[in-house]
Amino acid sequence: MARRQRLSYPGITQHIIQRGNNRQVCFGDDEDMYIFAQWLTDYAAEYGVAVHAWVFMTNHIHVLATPVDFNSVSLLMQALGRRYVRYFNRRYRRTGTLREGRYRSCLIDSEAYLLTCQRYIEMNPVRAGMVTAPAEYRWSSYRSNAHGKPSTLVVPHEIYHKLGPTAESRQAAYRALFTEQLPVELFENINQSTCSGLALGNDRFRDQIEKLTGKLAGRGKSGGLLNNRNRELMFI
Alpha carbon 146 to chain centroid distance? 18
pTM for this entry? 0.90
User: What integer best gives the mean pLDDT of the chain?
Assistant: 90
pLDDT tens for 142-157 read 999 999 999 999 999 9
| CATH number corresponding to 14-215 | 3.30.70.1290
**Least reliable range by pLDDT among 34-38, 156-160, 206-210, 222-226:** 222-226
What does the domain layout of the chain look like in residue ranges? 14-215
pLDDT tens for 79-138 read 999 999 999 999 999 998 898 888 999 999 999 999 999 999 999 999 999 999 999 999
